[in-house]
Structure 1
Amino acid sequence: MPKTYVMSISIITPHHNDFKGIKQTHDSLIKQDSEQWEWIIVDDFSDDPIKESLIEYLKNYPCKNIKLVFNDIKTNASVCRNIGVDHASYNHLVFLDSDDMIAEDFISNRAIEVQDFAVFKNFNLIDEKGNNKPAPTKDSNYLNHFLQAKFIWQTSAILWNKGFLIKIGKFNTHLKRLQDIELSIRALFLSNNYRVIDNKVDFFYSVSPINIKKTPINIICESVNYLISHLNNHYALDKEQRGLLTGYYFLCVRYFSRSEDKRDLNHVQNSLKVFYKKNYMSYFGYMRALLFINLYKINLISNDLFLKLNRYFYK
């Protein structure tokens, strides 16, 4: 018999044309050692055959705690997650992507009291070949790690108090990328009561190498520009925190390093200007980064050296 727990959790999964992933997530949920969960699938305007397959599949597994919500237009994962929050019955929320996997005790391990949010910091990363390794974790200033573009936990690592998440505005739908990062930064700034738990690994996050065809460099740079401008406008960052944010400039450089088109360097250079104008970078730091760009443009330094120099000075 399954264990019975007082705490109930709403699991929210955004989905677009990933029927295989939905079936995988469903298989994980029905094997849970707790029945105290509901699953909200928000379909982001999948192709009609996928939607029909999903409806037919769930008919074979009638379950009162599975909700299927269809969007009328294509949006994005953040919009879908916010819609899922609106449909959630319980005050404890987890966002789970359809390509990630959970152990049988994932739900029961999260049957805890949550004031604002709790982070289950230990999870494993699974690459495209199915290999897994522990994700990086830190035991110091969590906010500063995120401000430096060191992403020490992932969306599904967080157990949210629904009331707190709604209070701070849920996911920022203006961002095309880095939405979960911005939300973690915002939550760390605004929370008076959160926990970081040194848990056993019960969550497996699928990762893949940077693919600029899926995430073009202009989208990354635009998102970085929005994020650092938003932080500048809404938070009183101290000198140390402002200095950390050049890690996001290096993020632009890192994505560019996978590009085969030197014209993409213009997006990196535009982001560099934003960092300087927002006083995240000194004049000397700006001119040094600009020098690296110009040297690379005229082939005086290699792509590898361009990346290494920027990592050393700005990461």
Structure 2
Amino acid sequence: MSLRSFPVDSVEEDAEQTDVEEDVEAEIHRDEDVSIRVTQSPGFLCHIEATAAFRMPAEVLYRQVITHPDNAAIFRHMDRCSYRKVLSDDGQGRRRVRVAHEASWRFLLFHGTFTTKLDVEEDDRALTMDFTLDPSGGGVMKRFHGRWTIRPHPKDPEHSSLSTLDQDVALNVSLPPPLDRILKRISCRQVRNIFEDVKKEADKVSRGKPTLCPWEQARHKQIGVAEEEQAAGGQDGELLSAPAAGQHSASAAAPSRPAENGAAAAGAGAGQGHADAAAAASKALAGLDLKQST
């Protein structure tokens, strides 16, 4: 499914004109539907800015794909959501959610699982979702944060949308130039896979055969919260009461799905593929180095 009638680069013509500091290396990957810009600066593995056009209204894309509680069924790089709790809801479409996603990774002969914990902020009115690595849930990642921004496509606002994903990753380990370049390529491929999965779901929605139930039916889901509070003897926090009718909520359990080729959990519903791939590959490389040195 292509948007060649109005390719993404026709509305992102200034993408390559963004000022880049001398210590930043920029790579541009672009086709008729997706534009991915990868930069690297001291202290970070990479920054990725990706924009794609979809045949789906902006609000539908935001609810039915990006923030839908059950979207693990859509994204190939997602195993399952093991924890999700709404921390606050202002009743006006702004929420804070804490999530944990489990991931499987594979690199050469190595494989394993790990968990990524994220703090998420959703804004239904602005159609944005911000995600930040929880201090206790990074593993080999030192810093990880990003944002999804959804907006109507300027050339077909009623039926199509533009989606932009910005995210940064910094690792707790230093990688020599050959390896960091490999991980950047893995990261770029992961982001492209995310957008491919969104396009497939947009096609299903347009044909009246969506993978997921309507967002309104799943918005109150939480997972792992009761078990957490039971284990803590009911002392660790209180469950947020269910929002009144017409208000939005975010939380969910996601079905388990096998990860492929080193892909890992998609944090906050979609955006963390490249970070988790980098973390998985870093773990594998670290294991390989340890094995060779013993």
The answer to whether TM tops 0.5 is: no
> TM-score of the superposition, structure 2-length normalised?
0.26
Higher relative contact order, chain-length normalized (CA < 8 Å, sep 6+)? 2
Q: Which has the higher strand share?
A: 2
Q: Which has the higher helix share?
A: 1
> TM-score of the superposition, structure 1-length normalised?
0.25
Structure with bigger gyration radius: 1
